[in-house]
Amino acid sequence: MPRVIFEGETHAEIVAQVKRWLASLDQDEDGQITVQQAIVQGAGLTKDALRIVAAAAPKPIAQNDIVKALTDMGYKATDATAERLVDGLGSVDELTGGSVVKTVSQRGRNAVYEMNVTVAKQILKALHGT
């Protein structure tokens, strides 16, 4: 029987893991996600990075009120930015009937593909010593 296990030190960590897992179910049939979903997932990654950096700090620093406040501010800023971007894209989507966001998404996929080819060529050059 299939099982899903989430592990974390706090309830919030487990909830974040569940949210990421549920977000992965939102992909299209071809594995693509919407721009809005990408923004939300990117915000989640940023918050995970903040949590990891805070957890990696020595205990006296990690438990310092200033560090806790800065981490909390980072979470709030990330959430607010993601929310505004998603709202803004929603407005652009409504005004243009989805054509602008769709075009940008397609161009973004092409740019990533082209960038990956460039990176691959550089890696091959480095491996071959040329």
Give the residue extent of every domain in the chain: 1-97, 98-130
pTM for the model stands at 0.54
CA distances from 23 to 13, 29, 125 (A): 15, 14, 38
**Cα angle 74-13-47, degrees, rounded to a multiple of 5:** 25
Cα distance between residue 33 and residue 52, in whole Å: 25
Higher pLDDT, 120 or 92: 92
Condensed to tens digits (0 to 9), the pLDDT of residues 82-119 reads: 999 888 888 887 887 877 666 656 665 565 555 566 76
Residue 50 has pLDDT above 70, yes or no: yes
| pLDDT computed for residue 80 by the predictor | 93
Nearest CA-CA partner of 105 in 30, 54, 53: 30
Contact call for residues 33 and 27 (beta carbons, < 8 A): yes
